[in-house]
Amino acid sequence: MLSPQLRKIKIQLEEGATNIDIDKEELLAELNEMEAIQGVLLKSLSLSTKVCPTCGKRL
Please give the pLDDT value at position 15: 95
Residue 9, domain member (yes or no): yes
Q: Are 8 and 27 in contact (CB under 8 A)?
A: no
Task: Say whether 54 sits in a helix, a strand or coil.
Answer: coil
The answer to whether position 12 is within a domain reads: yes
Q: pTM score, two decimals? A: 0.56
Q: Establish if 36 belongs to a structural domain.
A: yes
Distances (CA, A) of 5 to 25, 27, 53: 10, 6, 32
Residue 59 lies in a domain: no
Percent of the chain's residues with pLDDT above 70: 90
Q: Is residue 32 part of a domain?
A: yes
How many domains are there within the chain? 1
Containing structural domain, residue 38: 4-47
* The pLDDT of residue 39 is above 70: yes
